[in-house]
Amino acid sequence: MLHLRLITPADRTDDVVRLIEGTVGTAHVVVLPGAARNPAGDVVMCDVAREAGDALIGGLRGLGLDSTGSIAVEDIDLSLSRRADKAEEEAPGEGADAVLWEHLEDATHEESTLSVTYVAFITIATMIAACGVVLDNAVLIVGAMAVGPEFGPLAGFCTALVQRHARLALRSLTALLAGFAMAMAATVLFSLFMDAVDLFSEAQLEADRPNTGFIYAPDWFSFVVAVLAGAAGMLSLTSAKSGALVGVAISVTTVPAAANAAVALSYGDMGQTWGSAKQLLLNLLGIVLAGALTLLAQKWFWARQREGRESPVAAS
């Protein structure tokens, strides 16, 4: 269940209450006339099943409440109420499968911004991965994957494509490409420094690397992994499951490739540089393609669920 706290202008409160009461899956409606001070108005609260939340929030925005008042949404960890149980039963679909598009856009907005923190994380992850590819150390590669933050802008870009938000798409793409560019440039300098202090060597880079050799040798298997990672990542984000481990799965196809390209570039090995760059671009394409298709499929599925729920009511 979700808990909604709304601030409504006094002249729109009746419309808001009618919308809430007419939405399948709502319960526990509370109206506090004149309780709000900034902005001035009434306070309306209700609980709604997660699977009905997107339709209700969309309706409230249609009434202009996001500009004239306020819409706040919280997850309810525990609700002991027969009315809440009935609301969940009446709402179409399953709560775990529901997509809250407004929440998704808000979450990806914050995580897809080219901030100092984002650049720091992706740079550190790429440097750790550089150590992993030179030493052919799988543990360091996994560590770099855990640090990599690129899941945020990838999810933001997929969401923007599906929702047709050009500004969010541009911001996400900027964070993704500029972040990798800065991280790879910093890693080139890092590699030159490590070589100067005899911790990196070209011989290590050119040696057989059974654990990390796949990073600069793109093939269809790499694309398949990227597609699966992209689908899993978007499902994790939209179903409110933890995205941390999914982010690791996505990073296996991105951060190590960027690191290998940077190290190879520092030694002038254009073969590995180009191969790693192709691996990175191919995998980014696979993730975006799978993520966008997953969101489109979920959008279609919930539209069908809503139509199926509304048809019997209209017929009656």
Q: What is the pLDDT of residue 312?
A: 45
Asked if residue 153 belongs to a domain, the reply is yes
The residues, ordered by sequence, that sit 6+ positions from 188 with a Cβ below 8 Å of its Cβ are 262, 263, 265, 266
Starting at the edge strand that comes first in sequence, how are the strands of the sheet with 26-37 ordered? Answer: 26-37, 40-48, 2-8, 70-75
pLDDT digits (tens, 9 = 90+) for 171-205: 999 999 999 999 999 999 999 999 999 999 999 99
Q: Contacts by 294-298 with C-beta closer than 8 Å and gap 24+? A: 294/158, 294/230, 294/231, 294/234, 294/235, 295/99, 295/158, 295/159, 295/162, 295/234, 295/238, 296/162, 298/97, 298/99, 298/238
Tokens of 60: 């409230």
Q: What is the pLDDT of residue 315?
A: 42
pLDDT digits (tens, 9 = 90+) for 138-166: 889 888 888 888 888 888 898 888 888 88
The residues, ordered by sequence, that sit 6+ positions from 2 with a Cβ below 8 Å of its Cβ are 47, 48, 49, 50, 53, 73, 74, 75, 76, 100
**Mean pLDDT, to the nearest integer, of 95-108?**
68
Q: What is the pLDDT of residue 85?
A: 87
| Domain shared by 230 and 150, yes or no | yes
| Domain shared by 45 and 88, yes or no | yes
Q: What is the pLDDT of residue 135?
A: 93
Percentage of the chain exceeding pLDDT 90: 41
Identify the band that residue 218 occupies on the pLDDT scale cut at 50, 70 and 90. Answer: confident
Element (H, E) at 31: strand 26-37
Asked if residue 173 belongs to a domain, the reply is yes
Per the structure, the complete domain to which residue 135 belongs is given by 103-302
| Domain shared by 28 and 116, yes or no | no
Q: What is the pLDDT of residue 177?
A: 93
Asked if residue 125 belongs to a domain, the reply is yes
pLDDT digits (tens, 9 = 90+) for 242-279: 544 455 455 556 888 999 999 999 999 999 999 999 98
Whether the per-residue pLDDT at 313 is higher than 60: the answer is no
Whether the per-residue pLDDT at 26 is higher than 60: the answer is yes
Whether the per-residue pLDDT at 299 is higher than 90: the answer is no
**Mean pLDDT, to the nearest integer, of 6-26?**
93
Q: What is the pLDDT of residue 316?
A: 40
Identify the band that residue 79 occupies on the pLDDT scale cut at 50, 70 and 90. Answer: confident
Q: What is the pLDDT of residue 306?
A: 60
Percentage of the chain exceeding pLDDT 70: 87
Q: What is the pLDDT of residue 244?
A: 46
Mean pLDDT of the chain, nearest integer: 85
| Domain shared by 23 and 158, yes or no | no
CATH code of the domain covering residue 115: 1.20.1080
| Domain shared by 259 and 292, yes or no | yes
**Mean pLDDT, to the nearest integer, of 17-42?**
92
Instruction: Indicate the residue among 65, 98, 131 that finishes a domain.
Output: 98
| Domain shared by 92 and 109, yes or no | no
| Domain shared by 123 and 262, yes or no | yes
| Domain shared by 111 and 197, yes or no | yes
Asked if residue 226 belongs to a domain, the reply is yes
Identify the band that residue 220 occupies on the pLDDT scale cut at 50, 70 and 90. Answer: confident
Q: What is the pLDDT of residue 214?
A: 80
| Domain shared by 92 and 153, yes or no | no
* Lowest mean per-residue pLDDT among 58-62, 127-131, 146-150: 146-150
Q: What is the pLDDT of residue 308?
A: 57
| Domain shared by 142 and 284, yes or no | yes
| Domain shared by 94 and 108, yes or no | no
* Lowest mean per-residue pLDDT among 49-63, 119-133, 243-257: 243-257
For residue 178, CA distances in Å to 190, 247, 314 come to: 18, 19, 51
Whether the per-residue pLDDT at 314 is higher than 60: the answer is no
pTM score, two decimals?
0.75
CATH code of the domain covering residue 46: 3.30.70
